[in-house]
Structures are given as C-alpha cells and as structure tokens.
Chains A and B, each alone.
Chain A
Amino acid sequence: MTCALTVNDLYVSYYGNEALRDISFSIEKQSLVGIIGPNGAGKSTLLKSLLKLIPRDKGEVTILGKEVEQVRKQIAYVPQRSNIDWDFPISVLETVLLGTYPKLGVFHRPKKRERMWAHECLEKVGMEPFAERQIGELSGGQQQRVFLARALAQETEIFFLDEPFVGIDISSEETIIQILKELRDSGKTVLVVHHDLSKSDEYFDELVLLNKELVRYGTVEEVMNPKMIAQAYGGQLSFLKDMVVTGA
C-alpha cells in the first residue's frame, strides 16, 4: 500500500536562511496528524514546501505515491486565517463554491449541482444559515468553519490545514476537530499545523514534532514525553511545566 505522504531528506531555506533541514518521515493513509513545535520551528513552511508553494532546496516528497504536481486535485489546503482579505466582496456560499473549481476546470462554471454540494458542505460545518453573508461579517470561528467547508467541497484524499484553531471559539474548535476525525474515519489523511501542545494528545493520532529539524515523529504517546518536548522547545519552559503537570 502506498503511503499518503513520504518526505525524504527535505531542506528548505528563506533568503539564504535555513528554515528546515534534513526532514524525513512518512505518513500512512487514514491518519490524523498534528505538526507541532515552537514558534519559528518551520511548521507552516513544512506544509507549504510539501505543496511546492515555496521552493525546496533539496529532498524528495511524494504524495499518494506521486509528485505533488500530479496529485494537486487530491489535496485541499486551508491557509492561515490571517492571510485572507476578509473585506473581499464574496459571500459564504461563493467561498465554498471555490472548492468546486479544481475539478470543474477552466471553461466550466459551477452549476446547480455544485451549488447543492456547496450547501451540503456548509451544512456539515453548521454554517448553512449564513450562506448569503459576506465573509467579513462572520466571527473567526465561523470563518474557519467556512474554509473547512470549502476544503470538504474539494472532495480530496488529503487535507492540509495551517493553524485552523488560532483565535476561534471553543464550539467551532470542537466542530472542526469532530469533522477532521470523521474524515480520517472515512479513509482520508489529515495534516494539521497546531500551535498548542495542551490538546494535541486529544486531537491527533500521530505527531510531527518539529524545530527546524525533525525532533520526533510517532504516535502521541511516543512524542508527548517531557524529554522530547524539552528537546524541541528548549528554553520555553513554562510550556514544559504545563505539559508535565497535565501529562502526568
């Protein structure tokens, strides 16, 4: 069986500064994986370089056994909320419809079938009543759910989410993690960049612990031990203390 994702000897730099070095790991299909690490560890960079949104210096990456170019339509990517222009003149429904574009191709427009599907995806994240709102009128958690609905609309095998839980309310967070778990249970592979150690053990099956290089990749139990965390987080000890207390 081919892996969902294999990374071998990946190096990435920004303007000559090394951002990631010597990263190798592989992820089986049907898993829900968190990418964690301190600020500046290169978590988002890893996600972007896997998709070739930024250039790689070195290394081989395969997704579903192929080069990323060949499987782009099998990958849904949810960017960080801070990267979106929320004043853009677009409605919630139209935003979700964007998710149908990759499979429509250039000269086709979304028709009734796509609109129905977009409504269905909105329903899954509980945002159907807001379909006709402009996206800037929503709260942060609602915006994030709309973007998850857009990813669902893409009907892909793999989902990449960059910091989906930053600045959102608890109930949205619960809705989102519930849907991600359902996706995993239906055979999809989900990678989530996550900033917060405290809930990592509840949310994910496996963790990629990163600090410019791969500190550890493994099951939650293997990664969430104080030694590993200390190694990745170094000086950020307040984090570590919380971790030890809750983990004990």
Chain B
Amino acid sequence: MNFFEAVMQYGFLQKALVTSIMVGVICGVIGCFIILRGMALMGDAISHAVLPGVALSYLFGVNFFFGAVLTGILTAIGIGYISQNSKIKNDSSIGIMFTSAFALGIILITILKSSTDLYDILFGNVLAVRPSDMWMTFGIGILVLAAVYIFYKELLVSSFDPTMSQSYGLPNKLIHYFLMTLLTMVTVASLQTVGIVLVVAMLITPASTAYLLSDRLWKMLFIAAGCGALSAVLGLYISFRYNLASGATIVLVATVLFITAFMFSPKQGVVWRSLKSRKQKSAVNY
C-alpha cells in the first residue's frame, strides 16, 4: 500500500499528517523570531524546560499544556534573572537553568509514569496522536499565528532595533516574555511530533533555511513555514515508507533542505559564491 492510500484509509495517519504540518508551520514562524533575536539556545532551553511541567500536570491530573507553559515561562524568567543580576553570561545561565529543569523533569516522570512515556515525550510519537491532541495543536497554531499577525509590527521593530523600540516606549521585556510564552506553546504542540529533544531543530533549521533565501521578514516567515510543513510531509512519508522514527526523519529532511539552500541559495549559496570568485580571479589573472 502506498503512502497516499494509507493516509486515505487510516485515521491515525491523517491525524499525524495534519498535526505535523501544523507543527512545521508554527515552528517555522516562531523560529524566525528566535534566530533573528539570536536566541537559538533559548529555544533549546525552553523546549527542555517544559518536561517537569508535563510531569506535574500528570500528577495533578490537568492537561499537560498548563504545566508545560508554567515551567517553560518560569525557566525563561529564571534565565533572565540570573544573567541580569550576576556576571554569569546569558548562555551559561541558559545552560544551568534548562538542564536542571530537564533533570527534575526526568526524575518526576520516572516516578510518576513509565519509561515508555518518557521516551515518547523525548522523541515524539506522531502516530499515537489522539484527536484531542490534534485539536490542541490546531488551537495553539491558530493562537500563535494570530499573535504574530497582530503584533507583527512590534515583533519586527523590537527584533531589529530594540533600542529604538525601547526609546519610543515599547515594553521590550514584556515582548520578550510574550515571545517566550509563544515559544513554550509551540514546544508543547510539537511534543508528540518530534519530541522535546528535537523541537529545537524544527525551530531553527527551517527558519535558517528561510533566512538564507529571503531579504524581507514577511517572506522569511512564509518560507520558514513552508519549509517546516514540507519537512513534516516528506519526513512522515519517508518514515512510513522505510519504517524509520518519524520525528528524527522529519528533522533530517529539514536539514537536507537547509543544506540545499546553503549550497545553492541565489545570493548566499556557497556554490555560486565560489564560482563567482573563481571567475573574478581568472579575470584578474588573465
């Protein structure tokens, strides 16, 4: 049976496909702001920091969305607090906070649940997506896209020139934590598709591909969303066809797209650039 027949036939595969496309899109969009603000490591940190929240949600019997957002934001605040109130550099502060949150999460999960659950949370299991998960991802997706649409102006100016936005009175810190909240929500939505460990790839890789291919923010957002969605579809297809781990396959497809852009992007591609410089050299030497 080929992939398309299987998608038509099996509900779980449809849900997997819809969910991963949505995850690809929102990770790509939020990822653009993450890389433009130089916060790639922060993306990694927040994604790991949701783990204790997921565990606590099990404990209290609430939807894991709430716990995850809570510990994600608390970690973001903790990171900011340490780097602003000591000489510890931002990247060290990130390293300290997220690993401790992650360690705490592992202990909590292994106490409360089985190791299979831990494995699924860490590496994703898109084929086990339930309808409720799909709708949650969908809801988060709509919310995140709407937020980016509504606050596009503010996100643009505070990412590009934070001094200017501060000087005319935009609350830069609030915008930062708002973005961290969106980032946490995106991470939660991605848990089942690619898992905590690989979310950062979906945030950074499609956005970086788009960065190489565009010279306007809005174009970058669309290209990143497109790359994310394409990686999701192709990755799911390949993982189905060759029976590979779905999250990891999606990530590798995203990487292949990035490498292609890195080599062949019209303005930045290393291939064109080396061809051009060789031409230049031979013209000079002739």
Contacts and interface: CB of A to CB of B under 8 A. Distances in A.
Contacts of B153: 101, 104, 106, 109-110
Contacts of B168: 72-73, 75, 77, 101-102, 154
Interface residues on A, range: 20 to 34
A154 B165 CA distance: 12
Interface stretch (B57-65, B98-106, B117-125, B155-163): B155-163
Contacts of A79: 161, 163-164
B240 to A, nearest CB: 35
B167 interface: yes
Interface string B136-169: 0000000000000011111011011101101111
A221 interface: no
B235 to A, nearest CB: 26
A116 B84 CA distance: 42
A85 B168 CA distance: 19
B265 to A, nearest CB: 13
Interface in A49-87: 51, 53, 69, 72-73, 75, 77, 79, 83-85
A134 interface: yes
A89 B220 CA distance: 8
B211 A89 contact: yes
Contact of A98 (B36, B157, B166, B169): B157
A101 B234 CA distance: 40
Interface residues on B, range: 20 to 34
Interface string A100-118: 0110101101100000000
A53 B166 contact: yes
B161 A91 contact: no
A109 B220 CA distance: 19
Given A72-B169, A88-B36, A89-B214, A98 B160 contact: yes
Given A69-B169, A109-B153, A98 B216 contact: no
A94 interface: yes
Interface string A216-239: 000000000000000000000000
Contacts of A110: 153
A155 B280 CA distance: 46
A84 B166 contact: no
B31 to A, nearest CB: 13
Counting chain B CB atoms within 10 Å of each CB, the highest count among A79, A89, A94, A98 belongs to A89
Given A53-B167, A88-B36, A89-B216, 13 more contacts: A51-B167, A73-B168, A75-B167, A85-B160, A88-B159, A88-B217, A89-B36, A90-B160, A91-B215, A98-B156, A98-B161, A101-B168, A110-B153
13 contacts: A88-B159, A88-B160, A89-B211, A89-B215, A89-B216, A90-B156, A90-B160, A94-B216, A98-B157, A98-B164, A104-B153, A106-B153, A107-B150
